[in-house]
Structure formats: structure tokens, C-alpha cells
Amino acid sequence: MFAQLKYIVFALLFSICPALPQSCDYSVDHYSYRFVKNQFVGIATDYLNKPDSLHVDIFYPVGDKETERPLVIWFFGGAFVAGSRETMHKNCISFAQKGFVAVAADYRIGMVGNLLPVDQAEVMRAGYRAMQDAKAVVRWMKARNVLDSTDVDRVWVGGESAGGFTALAAAFVDQEKEKPKECGKLASVVGVGRPDLGSVEGQLHQNGWDAGVQGVFNYYGGVLDTSMITGQENTALFLYHQTGDPVVACGGKRPFWTLPISSNFPIAYGSCAIAERLTHLSYGSTKWSSWIHTGDQHAVHDQLAVDQYMLHAANPLLCRSITSSDPFSKIERKSYTWVGKRLEFEWISTIFESTGVISIFNLSGAELGKYGSEEVLDQSDKLLPGVYFLSFEGTDGDRKIARWIKF
């Protein structure tokens, strides 16, 4: 299954910080789960200027001893006109079994014209309302961190399709100057008033908590403007997209670009375009990676494999064996991933390009051994499947980091 991960180009750097317990691994199942449904968050005004109730379903691991668990909040897809939080239960169950408190959240949906929006402003206003609601849920969940035994410094947001747009906007739009003019007061359309939508933060749960998050899991969503990612953020970002996605293009196109309904949708930028932006910014190898899969679906080709990819990428941050500030600033900014049952000499010689010593570390930052570049080939067979980091120190002083996903 993980052989397909050879499409990964960028990997995470890591730092050898004081190691957490060896059991710190949020990428595998440890627990059963329980959940509570229909937790009321608040009421906000929808696109028809009517009140809309927002709820969440919360999933908890059962059997863990953590008092400060990581939190992930999931947002559903549906082009901002359809969908329900129940579609994200599968993600919540998967992540709760690994030790997260996982939330499936509502946000306001709908726009005048729905899948045939009357203008681009309606699409932008729908996404803006969703972003405001997502930020409100983040603040609401932070405020009840003691009740839920969550860690306010390890809050993540994620989503599929429109939910990915929502998660990305909630994480990266944090300045009032980023508010689109279309989200101010506009003239009515077909008898529907379009008032000013207010602050980027929204009005719900202005409770003293901020809406900042540690990271984002984006499943085939996107952004309307890649410049909202400035390079100054400490927010991690892990991306998945298919190259020929017909709904949200991996590059930059109007949503539903293969259909004749796309003309009133603004151009959106998927994970390929976001990855280009992050590369251009030298965003920090600890903070992002992308899996761009060759395919033509608006979906994941293998849910388990993609979830595992996201969790393996995030695990060092979750376990605090790295920080998003990228302490390896003097190491070559490029990073590499090898996926296979054992390391291959051809790959090692291509990546490291010189002789030296290779150290192998696990996700907790524990060093498992130091080897010459040829010795490590034999040692690789002795390790269990999982994610490892290779730190290379050349005789010429060169240093590089690579990641190995063993299956």
C-alpha cells in the first residue's frame, strides 16, 4: 500500500530535541473510542439572512491516560451548498483511535443560486461565512479544553474539498485587510439582502481564546489566493490532491472546470499551486509536505494510506520531537523521502552525493545507530515498518536530512 507514496517529493526535517516517551505515536491505532453528538455551538445568520444553528459531534479516545490530547476539527465538503458533518465521522473515528479528540463540525452552507451562483461574490461570501464558523469552533473547543482534556497548543483543522478551503482559510486568514471586498455590504440579488459579513474572526465565541492552530490537513481543497500564506506563519500544512481533479483543480482553475457551470466561480488554487507557493517561500521543511497523486478523482484514492501519510507527517510536531520553527536552518533546505522495504544504495548515493556517516532516528528523536553509507543498507532490514529519519554528515561538512517510510 505504501509503495504508492513514491510520489511524495518533500519530507519533514526534524530536530533531536529531548525525546518524549517512545510510545508517542499518533499514526497508529491505540484505543477504542466514544462520541457525543449534537453539541450546540451557536447561531449565526445564513445566506438568506435567517438564523442557522451550528453543532458539532465530538469523538474521544477510550483507554488513554493523556490529560492534554491533540485536537483535530474536521470540516465536510459539498461546494458550500451541501454536505453534513456526519460525512467526517470516518475521519473522527480514525483519529480518535490514535489518541486525538476529533470533532466533526457544522458551518453555514448555501449561496444565492447554489451550484449556479448568481455571481462570484456569492461563492466568496459562502466561503467567508464557513471560515468565520470554523474559527468560532476552534475558540469554542479551546475554551473547554479542561472538560475535553485537550492541548490548546496542538489544535489542528482539516477538511475535504470545501472543508479543505474552510480549514485553510481559518488557519491562514487572520488580518482584517485580508477580508475580500465582496464580503462587505453589496446590493441585493433576487430579493436577498447582502449585508456586510463582519470581521474575519466572526462574532461567535469571542471568549478570549484565539483561533490559531498548529496545523492543517488539506484533502483536495484549496484557496482563492495563495498569497494569504506569507511565510511568516508557524502553522504546519499537509496536502493531498490528485493531478486531474475535475472539481478543485490541483493547480489554478475555476471549480467544476470540466463542466459548463463554472463561469461564476472564482479561480481557485489547489494543492499543487499551494505547494509551489510554499516552495517559493522556503516555508520550512518541518512545516509542510504534499502528496500529489496521479489520478483524476475528486477524492482520495486510498483513504487509509492518505490518512497514514498525513499522520506520519504530523507526528513529529504532535510529539514535539520537532518544532515548526525549523532549527535546521543551516542544513540544505531540500529534503527527501524514500519509500520502500529497505534502503537502497543507489538512492543513498544519489541523495547524499559523498561519503560520510548516516544516523537513523525514530519519530521520538531517539538515535537508533550510526552507520557508513553502505553499512546502513544491511541494518535497514532489522527495523520494523514505520517512519525513520536519516541524518547525513559528510566528511566535507555537508549535512542533509532525509525521511524513510518503511513498509
Q: What is the pLDDT of residues 120-151, one digit of tens each?
A: 999 999 999 999 999 999 999 999 999 999 99
Question: For residues 201, 206, 207 and 210, what is the CA-based torsion angle, rounded to 10 degrees?
Answer: 10
Can you identify the CATH homologous superfamily of domain 31-298?
Answer: Alpha/Beta hydrolase fold, catalytic domain (3.40.50.1820)
pLDDT at 356: 75
Contact 376, 391 (CB under 8 A): no
Class of domain 336-406: alpha beta
Whether pLDDT at 16 is above 50: no
The residue whose grid cell reads 479544553 is 145
Please tell me the least confidently modeled range out of 124-138, 188-202, 282-296.
282-296
Contact 227, 278 (CB under 8 A): no
Whether pLDDT at 321 is above 90: no
Give the H/E segment covering residue 146. helix 145-148
pLDDT at 337: 72
What count of residues does the chain have? 407
Greater model confidence, 293 or 362: 293
Domain ranges, ordered by start, for the chain: 31-298, 336-406
pLDDT at 20: 38
- As given in the structure block, the three cell numbers for residue 354 are 559523498
Rounded Cα distance between 142 and 146, Å, is 9
- As given in the structure block, the three cell numbers for residue 21 are 516517551
Whether pLDDT at 212 is above 90: yes
Share of the chain above pLDDT 70, in %: 85
